[in-house]
Amino acid sequence: MKLRGFYAIVDAPASPDAAVALAERLISGGACAIQLRMKKAATRDVIAAARALRAVVRGVPFVVNDRSDVALLVGADAVHLGQDDLSLADARAIAPGILIGVSTHNLAQAEAAARAGADYIGFGPVFPTGSKEKPDPVQGVAALAEAVSAVAPIPVVAIGGITVARAVDIAATGAAAACAIAAVNGATDPAVAARAIARAFS
Protein backbone atom coordinates (compact mmCIF):
# COMPACT_ATOMS: atom_id res chain seq x y z
CA MET A 1 0.00 0.00 0.00
CA LYS A 2 1.50 3.31 -1.07
CA LEU A 3 1.32 5.83 1.76
CA ARG A 4 3.36 8.99 2.01
CA GLY A 5 2.67 12.17 3.96
CA PHE A 6 -0.52 12.94 5.81
CA TYR A 7 -2.93 10.12 6.70
CA ALA A 8 -6.32 11.71 7.34
CA ILE A 9 -9.16 10.57 9.57
CA VAL A 10 -12.75 11.69 9.27
CA ASP A 11 -13.65 11.25 12.92
CA ALA A 12 -17.27 10.91 14.13
CA PRO A 13 -18.90 13.11 11.47
CA ALA A 14 -22.31 14.51 12.33
CA SER A 15 -23.76 13.37 9.01
CA PRO A 16 -22.72 11.90 5.65
CA ASP A 17 -22.66 15.43 4.23
CA ALA A 18 -20.33 16.55 7.03
CA ALA A 19 -18.08 13.56 6.34
CA VAL A 20 -17.86 14.43 2.67
CA ALA A 21 -17.19 18.12 3.34
CA LEU A 22 -14.30 17.34 5.69
CA ALA A 23 -12.87 14.66 3.41
CA GLU A 24 -12.83 17.06 0.49
CA ARG A 25 -10.90 19.61 2.56
CA LEU A 26 -8.41 16.96 3.68
CA ILE A 27 -7.90 15.67 0.16
CA SER A 28 -7.33 19.21 -1.08
CA GLY A 29 -4.64 19.42 1.61
CA GLY A 30 -2.82 16.47 0.09
CA ALA A 31 -4.02 13.59 2.28
CA CYS A 32 -2.55 10.27 1.15
CA ALA A 33 -5.47 8.29 2.62
CA ILE A 34 -8.88 8.96 4.12
CA GLN A 35 -10.09 6.81 6.99
CA LEU A 36 -13.63 6.90 8.37
CA ARG A 37 -13.68 6.48 12.15
CA MET A 38 -17.05 6.25 13.92
CA LYS A 39 -16.39 4.33 17.12
CA LYS A 40 -19.74 4.82 18.85
CA ALA A 41 -22.10 5.17 15.90
CA ALA A 42 -24.89 2.83 14.91
CA THR A 43 -24.02 0.49 12.06
CA ARG A 44 -26.51 2.08 9.68
CA ASP A 45 -24.90 5.50 10.29
CA VAL A 46 -21.44 4.10 9.62
CA ILE A 47 -22.66 2.57 6.37
CA ALA A 48 -24.32 5.82 5.28
CA ALA A 49 -21.17 7.85 5.91
CA ALA A 50 -18.97 5.20 4.31
CA ARG A 51 -21.07 5.12 1.17
CA ALA A 52 -21.00 8.91 0.93
CA LEU A 53 -17.22 8.96 1.28
CA ARG A 54 -16.70 6.11 -1.17
CA ALA A 55 -18.46 8.21 -3.77
CA VAL A 56 -16.01 11.11 -3.44
CA VAL A 57 -12.70 9.63 -2.25
CA ARG A 58 -10.77 8.83 -5.41
CA GLY A 59 -7.06 8.75 -6.12
CA VAL A 60 -6.14 7.88 -2.53
CA PRO A 61 -7.11 4.82 -0.46
CA PHE A 62 -10.44 4.96 1.36
CA VAL A 63 -10.20 3.12 4.68
CA VAL A 64 -12.95 2.04 7.08
CA ASN A 65 -12.00 1.79 10.74
CA ASP A 66 -12.70 -1.49 12.59
CA ARG A 67 -15.47 -2.80 10.35
CA SER A 68 -14.39 -5.34 7.72
CA ASP A 69 -18.02 -5.99 6.84
CA VAL A 70 -18.71 -2.33 6.14
CA ALA A 71 -15.49 -2.00 4.16
CA LEU A 72 -16.53 -4.91 1.96
CA LEU A 73 -20.10 -3.66 1.60
CA VAL A 74 -19.16 -0.18 0.39
CA GLY A 75 -16.15 -1.17 -1.68
CA ALA A 76 -13.52 0.48 0.51
CA ASP A 77 -9.86 -0.01 -0.35
CA ALA A 78 -8.84 -1.01 3.17
CA VAL A 79 -9.94 -1.69 6.71
CA HIS A 80 -8.00 -0.55 9.76
CA LEU A 81 -7.99 -2.83 12.80
CA GLY A 82 -7.24 -2.12 16.44
CA GLN A 83 -5.74 -4.56 18.90
CA ASP A 84 -9.20 -5.49 20.20
CA ASP A 85 -10.82 -5.93 16.79
CA LEU A 86 -10.97 -9.01 14.58
CA SER A 87 -7.71 -10.79 13.93
CA LEU A 88 -6.04 -9.98 10.65
CA ALA A 89 -6.75 -13.52 9.42
CA ASP A 90 -10.45 -13.25 10.26
CA ALA A 91 -10.66 -9.84 8.61
CA ARG A 92 -9.16 -11.27 5.43
CA ALA A 93 -11.70 -14.10 5.52
CA ILE A 94 -14.54 -11.58 5.71
CA ALA A 95 -13.13 -9.17 3.15
CA PRO A 96 -10.68 -10.95 0.84
CA GLY A 97 -8.71 -8.64 -1.40
CA ILE A 98 -9.11 -5.60 0.85
CA LEU A 99 -5.94 -4.08 2.28
CA ILE A 100 -5.56 -4.24 6.05
CA GLY A 101 -3.85 -1.85 8.44
CA VAL A 102 -3.29 -2.59 12.11
CA SER A 103 -2.83 -0.17 15.01
CA THR A 104 0.05 -1.16 17.26
CA HIS A 105 1.24 0.32 20.53
CA ASN A 106 4.67 -1.19 21.09
CA LEU A 107 7.43 -2.94 19.15
CA ALA A 108 6.15 -6.45 19.87
CA GLN A 109 2.70 -5.63 18.49
CA ALA A 110 4.21 -4.02 15.39
CA GLU A 111 6.35 -7.07 14.71
CA ALA A 112 3.38 -9.38 15.25
CA ALA A 113 1.27 -7.37 12.79
CA ALA A 114 4.06 -7.55 10.24
CA ARG A 115 4.37 -11.32 10.63
CA ALA A 116 0.61 -11.68 10.24
CA GLY A 117 0.74 -9.89 6.89
CA ALA A 118 -0.50 -6.36 7.60
CA ASP A 119 -0.36 -4.12 4.55
CA TYR A 120 0.54 -1.14 6.72
CA ILE A 121 0.98 -0.50 10.42
CA GLY A 122 -0.11 2.35 12.67
CA PHE A 123 2.28 2.92 15.57
CA GLY A 124 1.80 5.00 18.68
CA PRO A 125 0.82 7.01 20.50
CA VAL A 126 4.10 8.70 19.72
CA PHE A 127 3.07 11.66 21.89
CA PRO A 128 0.28 12.15 24.46
CA THR A 129 -3.10 12.17 22.73
CA GLY A 130 -6.60 13.27 23.58
CA SER A 131 -8.39 11.38 20.80
CA LYS A 132 -8.84 8.21 22.87
CA GLU A 133 -10.62 7.78 26.19
CA LYS A 134 -8.00 5.31 27.45
CA PRO A 135 -4.82 5.90 25.46
CA ASP A 136 -1.99 3.39 25.43
CA PRO A 137 1.39 4.33 26.93
CA VAL A 138 3.29 6.99 25.01
CA GLN A 139 6.04 5.42 22.88
CA GLY A 140 8.12 8.38 21.74
CA VAL A 141 10.04 9.14 18.56
CA ALA A 142 12.88 6.69 19.27
CA ALA A 143 10.47 3.77 19.62
CA LEU A 144 8.76 4.82 16.39
CA ALA A 145 12.09 4.74 14.57
CA GLU A 146 12.80 1.28 15.99
CA ALA A 147 9.43 -0.01 14.83
CA VAL A 148 9.91 1.46 11.35
CA SER A 149 13.22 -0.35 11.04
CA ALA A 150 11.87 -3.61 12.45
CA VAL A 151 8.92 -3.96 10.05
CA ALA A 152 10.47 -2.50 6.88
CA PRO A 153 9.45 -2.40 4.08
CA ILE A 154 5.89 -2.36 5.46
CA PRO A 155 4.82 1.30 5.70
CA VAL A 156 4.32 2.72 9.19
CA VAL A 157 1.90 5.52 10.00
CA ALA A 158 2.74 7.45 13.16
CA ILE A 159 -0.28 8.06 15.40
CA GLY A 160 -0.98 9.94 18.60
CA GLY A 161 -0.38 13.57 19.46
CA ILE A 162 0.98 14.50 16.03
CA THR A 163 1.09 18.23 15.28
CA VAL A 164 2.42 20.30 12.42
CA ALA A 165 5.45 21.22 14.51
CA ARG A 166 6.24 17.55 15.22
CA ALA A 167 5.82 16.31 11.66
CA VAL A 168 9.45 16.85 10.65
CA ASP A 169 10.68 14.71 13.55
CA ILE A 170 8.19 12.01 12.58
CA ALA A 171 9.33 12.04 8.95
CA ALA A 172 12.97 11.77 10.05
CA THR A 173 12.28 8.34 11.59
CA GLY A 174 11.50 6.87 8.19
CA ALA A 175 7.78 6.59 8.91
CA ALA A 176 5.71 6.64 5.74
CA ALA A 177 3.08 9.02 7.05
CA ALA A 178 1.68 10.81 10.08
CA CYS A 179 -1.90 10.79 11.27
CA ALA A 180 -3.33 13.76 13.14
CA ILE A 181 -6.93 14.36 14.13
CA ALA A 182 -7.08 17.32 16.53
CA ALA A 183 -4.23 19.28 14.93
CA VAL A 184 -5.83 19.11 11.48
CA ASN A 185 -9.57 18.55 11.79
CA GLY A 186 -9.75 21.16 14.54
CA ALA A 187 -7.64 23.71 12.69
CA THR A 188 -9.11 26.93 11.32
CA ASP A 189 -8.34 25.59 7.85
CA PRO A 190 -7.91 21.79 7.84
CA ALA A 191 -6.54 21.83 4.28
CA VAL A 192 -3.69 24.16 5.26
CA ALA A 193 -2.83 22.08 8.34
CA ALA A 194 -2.95 18.86 6.32
CA ARG A 195 -0.69 20.33 3.68
CA ALA A 196 1.85 21.43 6.29
CA ILE A 197 2.15 17.90 7.67
CA ALA A 198 2.33 16.37 4.18
CA ARG A 199 5.11 18.80 3.27
CA ALA A 200 7.32 17.39 6.04
CA PHE A 201 7.49 14.11 4.12
CA SER A 202 8.30 15.61 0.73
Closest CA to 76 of 114, 119, 111, 15: 119
Query: Domain 5-199 classified CATH 3.40.50.1100?
Result: no
CA distance 63 to 34: 6
Tell me the Cα Rg of the chain.
15
Q: Of all helices (H) and strands (E), which one includes residue 65?
A: strand 62-65
Q: Mind telling me the catalytic residues?
A: 37, 103, 132
pLDDT in the model for residue 130: 72
**How far apart are the C-alpha atoms of 173 and 154, rounded to whole Å?**
14
Residues 139-190: tens digit of each pLDDT = 999 999 999 999 999 999 999 999 999 999 999 999 999 999 999 999 999 9
In angstroms, the CA 25 to CA 175 distance is 24
SS (H, E, C) 102-141: EEECCHHHHHHHHHHCCCEEEECCCCCCCCCCCCCCCCHH
Q: What is the DSSP letter of 154?
A: S
What does the domain layout of the chain look like in residue ranges? 5-199
Model confidence, pTM:
0.95
> Helical H runs in the chain?
16-28, 43-56, 68-74, 88-94, 107-116, 140-151, 167-172, 182-185, 190-199
Q: What is the pLDDT of residues 31-83, one digit of tens each?
A: 999 999 999 999 999 999 999 999 999 999 999 999 999 999 999 999 999 99
| Span 104-120, pLDDT tens digits | 999 999 999 999 999 99
The residues that bridge with 197 in the sheet, in sequence order, are: none
- Whether the pLDDT of residue 132 is over 90: the answer is no
